[in-house]
Amino acid sequence: MYCPHLRLKTARREREREREREREREERERERERERDEREREIEIGETRESTID
């Protein structure tokens, strides 16, 4: 039996899942950027300390 409202609900759920996956991808990307920035800051601090010791 053909139920158009069920197809709409299924499509809506799929769009919601896709948006959630996209949000999760964006959050993981932001977390990677934060970690990269933190490592770069630590490297810069280390280089600054080394140059002041010399």
Rounded Cα–Cα distance for residues 54 and 40 (Å)? 21
- Res 49 pLDDT > 80: no
Q: What is the pLDDT of residues 10-24, one digit of tens each?
A: 999 999 999 999 999
pLDDT score recorded for residue 35: 97
Q: Dihedral sign for Cα 14, 17, 21, 23, please.
A: positive
6: confidence class by pLDDT, cuts 50, 70, 90: confident
Percent of the chain with pLDDT over 70: 85
pTM passes above 0.75 = no
